[in-house]
Structure 1
Amino acid sequence: MAAAFVAQARLEAALQAAVSPAEKEQLVLEHVREMDGRDTDLKVPEFEEGLEWVNTEGPLLLQNDLCGKVVVLDFFTYCCINCMHLLPDLHALEQKHSDKDGLVVVGVHSAKFPNEKVFKNIQSAVLRYNITHPVVNDADAKLWQELEVTCWPTLVILGPRGNMLFTLIGEGHKEKLFSFISVTLKYYKEKGEIKDHGIKLKLYKDSLPPSSLLFPAKIAVDNSAGRLAIADSGHHRILVTEKNGEVLYSVGGPKSGWKDGSIFEASFNSPQGVLMKDNIIYVADTENHAIRMIDLTTERVSTIAGIGVQGADKEGGKTGVEQSISSPWDLAFGTSGNTEDSLLFIAMAGTHQIWVIFLKDGKLPRGIECKKGTCIRFAGSGNEENRNNSYPHKAGFAQPSGLSVAPPEWNCLFVADSESSTIRSVSLKDGAVKNLVGGERDPMSLFAFGDLDGIGINAKLQHPLGVAWNEKRGLLYVADSYNHKIKVINPKTKRCATLAGTGKASNVIGPNFNQTTFNEPGDVCVGEHGNVLYVVDTNNHQIKVLDLEMQTVSVLPTSSLDAVDASKSVKPKKVLRLPKSADSVQMAPLVVSSGQILQFHLKIDLPEGAQLTEGAPSFWAMLAEGHEWLFVGQKISGEIVDLVNEPEVLFVVPAQVQTNGLLLSIDVCLYFCSKNDNNCQMKGVSFKQPLQFSNTGQGTISKVNLSFSF
């Protein structure tokens, strides 16, 4: 293959000196003619028998199925951000030239990580990235080695006899790619060597049933409002749900797009990171290369950074839609001075850096002051490395994909650096970047991965994607994606240990953490005041809920999601809150058991001459702070339109309960008016029902009267 590389180097040098498009086209044509005459020396070896294929009816052969075609071999590995950046170029190329025109793109998956060699995982990646051309699993990298490929991504362009013509290494060669293909097709059509037969495709996505969630990416929790925000990446939408899974909002989807405006018309493209606070949701809109903001109060979506296409800027300094960015993957709030949540940190996977947006005027460590809206680099040189350094701009990251801010006593930002398989910390005092666990000391090595509990660099991870700080426990949780595990780190000792997962990619809801399984979990998020861990189980298309106190696992129900058409936005429901002046009623303790059904009957007496206000949102709500897992699959709130028939609230004791007792609250909020003077009021009452658990009397039904007079 040395002759091909020499000829290509000669072409590249000539193209740099060329001025006009016609001159460049002539140089490419001369190169094709030269290479065409050498095809006996530069034939690409045939695909081996027994290789696994995606998106085809069966294996393809260069000298049979692809004979008479110009073939683009895309050597990629599905974790690689640069490979992801190349996919839009290939998609556009396939839109311009079909197999009938003589062009076929074949993805050659040559894995970096052991997890990426597994065929089912490649199938999931093909679906996730909407790849519609054939993909072959070159698990042992034999074709990679025979063609002397050295990095991801690499494009090898073949003529209609399987003869090697061009090689393009890395991303950012769209103009050359289109030029090379256009000239090559024209040349071989004039020679009569292009055949117009179709390739027998069988798209993997067409064989799968619809899913409520499709490759969910990240999750955020707003404990004050009792809500979750989920980046439903495969459906290109953001979901806001109750903690029992009931959908409050669906913004975007099902198709990708980039549109601001009403939440009922806005669109996203494979969103990843989400943050939620005070009715505002920030979104890392990854494939739009933008940061978006959803305002649930005004029901509007806006762009606060990014121009809608990938940028190459590694410094920043501009504001809003004037600042181009590259593949933002996760977000975290930060504090500038004494102003809490005035910064928005960005894991900028595309440039291997950490950036920040100023939500208010402020400054970074070392006294850099910026105006509101400024989007600027915080740490990372932009080189893909595992380099720690006291100077933040000299440090190197490798596709940072998860962020979490620690409290003031730690004063740092934790980073899941996926391609170096490390967890790093960035000081919020001076920007110093340090290793926490994983990786090795060589800053150029991105292959120090594995699955090993231990301390510091002796611990090994495999492509971690998410981190979450638990303030209550002083621990950091990690979505160790390619090990299909959730791990926990004590930052004081740097000890990293497996919390949940067997290491096997499957979907088992075990009775405890050790028997539960995951499939490439993409994120973790701490909720319920440190007692619950939400896990985005990406390839299982679900959210798992880990109760850290009772060591139990449940799944956020998707029954309400099944009713949500991904092509429509959900009309938002009002957030149910009890008035601050609400009364409290302490009930006598109840002894309950597994499977028991409690029927709470609300017997509320209004003042004489009063009636419920027609059309006003009177409601009941059930909760148990710190134990929201109890309500998975149960109705936790409802409207009250009539007090005569005693509104009923049902609570089913879960099958597995590993606590002695808890305090259940039944909150009631009523709007009522006097019949005589039309004087209207809002009143609330909270019934506090202690529960004690036992193992007797399973499956019984008990009626409980909750009585109160206003």
Structure 2
Amino acid sequence: MAAYSSLSTLFPVQSELESGLEEASGPREREELVAEYLKKLDHKEDLKVPDFEEGLDWLNTEGPLSLQKELAGKVVVLDFFTYCCINCMHLLPDLHQLEQRHTVKDGLVVVGVHSAKFPNEKVLQNICSAVLRYSITHPVVNDSDARLWQELEVACWPTLVILGPRGNLLFSVVGEEHRDRLFLFTSVALKHYGEQGLLRDHAVGMKLFRDSLPPSILSFPGKVAVDPVSKKLAIADTGHHRILVVSSTGKVLYCIGGSGSGWKDGNLSETLFNSPQGVFIKGDTVFVADTENHLIRRIDLSEGRVTTLAGTGLQGTDKEGGAMGPQQPISSPWDVALGTTGGVEDNVLWIAMAGTHQIWAVFLEDGKLPKGSEYGKGVCVRFAGSGNEENRNNSYPHKAGLAQPSALALVPIQPWNCLFIADSESSTIRSVSLSDGAVKHVVGGERDPLNLFAFGDVDGKGIDAKLQHPLGVAWDASSSLLYVADSYNHKIKVVDPKTKQCRVLAGTGEASDVFGPSFTESSFNEPGGLCVAEGGKLLYVADTNNHHIKVLDLETKTVSLFPISIEEVDASTATVRKVPKIPKLPKSAPVLSVAALPVSAGQAIRMHLNLTLPAGTKLTEEAPSFWSLSAEGHEWLLEGQAVTGDIADLSQPLSITCSVPAQAVSSDPTLTLSAWVYCCLSDGGACMMKAVSFVQPLLIDSEAKGDNVAVTLAHAF
């Protein structure tokens, strides 16, 4: 049996390198130190690591990968992560940039090794959702029993382990904020082994999980908020990088962002977000926790503009703050709540700062923190939390320890006068006083402030109650109750903060999308946010992994789907354009496959559709005919949208144009062009519906250049 090494074998060797790097005078000397270190490792035979176990589930690949087969001849970066961990999320942009700099052909492969903290995170489907939610495009393996974690003696999330082309240990990088080290180690390793001829440029079979999913109206909605006066809802459509403002009946009034991820202020039609989570709406103002941009944004619907209140667009490490908002770096804000300090109404925006495990404030007008200093308009500053990831309650807010606070519920009335907090990594509900800043326990967790593993699914009082990674809280003023999105238990719970009693309100505990006749027979899938409406009669739930907003009627105890209209909004004019609901093709409709069409990236495809009606019939005006162009399983081809158009005249071929994206995700996607034609006998007799579907495979050559191409598709009904 082969002898394998762990990180404990590597630490003494790498520690000498780290000391030298700290004293190095510049980039060239650091590169030389790493190159010399690798030469020393070449003579060590005891740094081989075990291969991945057989039978593990893999994502984003065509099949299992092996260090001795598919990954042989590659420099491999193993990213040990768990998808609840905010520090792990912070590494993803660095890994993405690393993959852009060094490709698989260059000899680099990143592999995510998912080693779960919570039981819910061991479930493959939940990992699939996380891979989609965080746009992970490299291979991911579900090491559900943490076998490789244990064999390598990994101690914390995140940990990066860099392997050489023979599956040999090279480096270990623990925690975040080590981007320069990561880039230095990988680039020198690629050069070192490339010069020795040990790298191979073969492809690794990739099959992105995201390409198998159909488009949906919502994508991983994070939070939902309601304006009690207008009854409008603000929805963080996180996966689509946009904010939807909808009426109480589900009509889309505004769609802000969504044309891609990024940071751009300005008109509603041009603004960009990056995975926004928290939202708070009051009148024509929406505040947004723009999470992966590390920003706080304000949407002014009356003026049609978006501005940045806080953040620089880069992840910050400052745990004190005090600068003006746009100059203050912040880290992964997850929720926001509008409040009042010093008697000045709505002068402060509270922030659940998940990235630094703290509660912050942005002053919209002059004000002061409870028992704290006075601050001028625009200042962004820490309110509570030491910055240490702990479950530590304390009467002094800066000495308390939070663990990834992810949701806020403001209760500015006595006897509470506090912010309730969903403290996800400690699996607790906590409170921070608006009078003196004291941080207190409500339910969940345990007394040891360093134990972040006291989770479960137990009704009870105070510390006897158990939650699993709660991500949402909402206050019901009519009943003085607190509702909790107990995310990893897939349940909605209710807490009486006066007695500290916690019990299940809704949810079976199974991660599914079932509408039962009662609360306890309905299901959710990692619900992330909720809000109370209609004076305590309704509870809206962002059912994140089901891509829905659900409505709990607290009077009838029933659950329903919030019916968001299938409408698109032209944000520049705030007008609504109707998009027809696409029916299913009848089973009798022919599905015609045509020859594959060679195209190049960036090229336009013009499809000429020639349809012939049965003799003696004409189009029916009362039932408008239409066509639809889709790319099921390859939604990137049409940027995730179904393209539709009317059919008003068949005397000439219809011309339908689409463009191949400049960056092709796969080389052999498929377009489907379908048509629904409503026609009646010319003499006023019977009417009928005819349908046909054309399946058009494409062969994309990303290197080729050429003129636009055309294809003619014809069918006689």
Letter in 1 for 2:118: F
Secondary structure, in 3 states, of the residue corresponding to 1:198?
Answer: coil
Residue 572, structure 1, aligned to residue 541, structure 2? no
Equivalence for 1:599? none
Q: Does residue 1:465 correspond to 2:467, yes or no?
A: no
Describe the SS at the equivalent of 1:378. strand
Deviation at 1:29, TM superposition (A): 0.7
Distance 1:330 1:285 in 2: 9
Question: Does structure 2 conserve the Cα–Cα contact (< 8 Å) formed by 1:249 and 1:570?
Answer: no
Shift of 1:320: 2.2
| Residue number among 554, 576, 590 corresponding to 1:548 in the alignment | 554
Structure 2 partner of 1:644: none
Alpha-carbon contact 1:436-1:456 (below 8 Å) kept = yes
1:296 aligned partner: 301
1:371-426: CA deviations, max 9, x gaps? 01110000000000000000000000000000001131111110000000000010
Between the aligned residues of both structures, percent identity stands at 67
After superposition, residues 520-539 of structure 1 pair within 5 angstroms as: 520-539=526-545
Task: Trace 1:16-31 onto structure 2 (pairs within 5 A).
Answer: 16-31=22-37
Cα distance between partner residues in 2 of 1:454 and 1:393: 30
> Counterpart of 1:495?
501
Q: In the alignment, what sits opposite 1:98?
A: 103
- Name the residue aligned to 1:481: 487
Residue 23 of structure 1 and its aligned partner are, at CA, apart by 1.0
Q: Distance in 1 between matches of 2:250 and 2:214?
A: 21
Any conservation in 1 of the 2:325–2:362 contact (CA below 8 Å)? no
SS of 2:426 mapped into structure 1: coil
**1:156 touches 1:167 (CA, 8 Å); kept in 2?**
yes
Alignment correspondent of 1:448: 454
In structure 2, the partner of 1:675 is none
Separation in 2 of the partners of 1:320 and 1:494?
36
Contact residue 564 and residue 570 of structure 1 kept, 8 A: no
SS of aligned partner of 1:238: strand
Kindly indicate whether the alpha-carbon contact (under 8 Å) linking 1:251 and 1:570 is maintained by their aligned counterparts in 2.
Answer: no
Judged with a 3 Å threshold, the aligned counterparts in structure 2 of structure 1 residues 330 and 539 are, in CA distance, closer, same or farther, namely: same
Name which of 363, 374, 378 aligns with 2:379. Answer: 374
In structure 2, C-alpha distance between the alignment counterparts of 1:265 and 1:503, rounded to whole Å: 40
* Alpha-carbon distance, 1:9 to partner: 1.1
TM superposition shift of 1:184:
0.3
Give the CA deviation at 1:343. Answer: 1.1
8 Å Cα contact 1:274-1:282 kept in structure 2: yes
Selected match of 2:59 from 54, 57, 61 = 54
How far apart are residue 571 of structure 1 and its match? 4.1
> How far apart, in 2, do the equivalents of 1:530 and 1:372 lie?
34
Q: Give the C-alpha shift of residue 573 in structure 1.
A: 5.5
Report the equivalent of 1:405: 410
Structure 1 runs not aligned, ≥5 long: 575-710
Alpha-carbon separation, structure 1, partners of 2:298 and 2:463: 37
Is the Cα contact below 8 Å between 1:403 and 1:416 reproduced in 2?
Answer: yes
Separation in 1 of the partners of 2:39 and 2:526? 47
Corresponding residue number in structure 2 for 1:191: 196
Q: CA deviation at 1:572?
A: 2.3
The CA deviation at 1:509 is 1.0
Offset of 1:18 from its aligned partner? 1.1
Instruction: Give 2:583's aligned residue.
Output: none
Alpha-carbon contact 1:249-1:571 (below 8 Å) kept: no
**Letter aligned with residue 32 of structure 1:** L
1:67 Cα offset (Å)? 0.4
Query: Which residue identity lines up with residue 17 of structure 1 in the other structure?
Result: E
Secondary structure, counterpart of 1:302 in structure 2: strand
Q: Distance in 1 between matches of 2:460 and 2:325?
A: 43
Query: For each residue in 1:245-282, what CA deviation from the matched residue of structure 2 results, as whole angstroms up to 9, or x when unmatched?
Result: 11000000131010000010000000000011120100
Q: What is aligned with 2:676? A: none
CA contact (8 A) 1:543 1:556 kept: yes
Tell me, in whole angstroms, the C-alpha distance in 1 between the residues paired with 2:340 and 2:118. 36
Give 3-state SS (helix, strand or coil) of 1:199's partner. coil
Aligned mates of 2:537, 2:572 — CA distance in 1: 30
- Which residue of structure 1 aligns with residue 213 of structure 2? 208
- Indicate the residue corresponding to 2:262 in structure 1: 257
Question: Is 1:123 the counterpart of 2:125 in the alignment?
Answer: no
Q: Which whole-Å deviations, capped at 9, do the CAs of 1:41-76 have from their partners, x for residues lacking one?
A: 111101111000000011001100000000000000
CA distance in 1, matches of 2:180, 2:262: 23
Q: Find the partner of 1:416 among 413, 422, 427.
A: 422
Q: Residue 647 of structure 1 aligns with which residue?
A: none
Aligned to 1:153: 158
Correspondence for 2:524: 518
Counterpart code for 2:335 = D
> Match for 1:331: what amino acid?
V
Whole-angstrom CA distance in 2 between matches of 1:333 and 1:279: 14
Mapped partners of 2:372, 2:57: distance in 1? 55
Equivalent runs, 1:25-424 vs 2, <5 Å: 25-38=31-44, 40-409=45-414, 410-424=416-430
Report the AA paired with residue 376 of structure 1. V
Give the counterpart letter for 1:458 in structure 2: D
Matched residues in 1 for 2:230 and 2:530: separation?
19
Root mean square deviation of aligned Cα: 1.1
Corresponding residue number in structure 1 for 2:19 = 13
Q: Which amino acid aligns with 2:203?
A: G
* 1:564 Cα deviation from its structure 2 partner: 2.7
Q: Which moved more, 1:83-92 or 1:238-247?
A: 238-247
**CA separation in 2, counterparts of 1:203 and 1:106?**
13
**How far apart in 2 are the matches of 1:145 and 1:569?**
52
Report the TM-score when normalising by structure 2. 0.79
In 1, are the aligned partners of 2:268 and 2:572 still within 8 Å (CA)? no
User: Residue 36 of structure 1 contacts residue 163 of structure 1 at CA under 8 Å; is this kept in 2?
Assistant: no
Q: Say which is worse superposed, 19-28 or 430-439, in terms of deviation.
A: 19-28
**Aligned mates of 2:14, 2:464 — CA distance in 1:** 43
Count of residues in correspondence between the two structures: 569
Aligned partner of 1:479: which letter? Answer: A
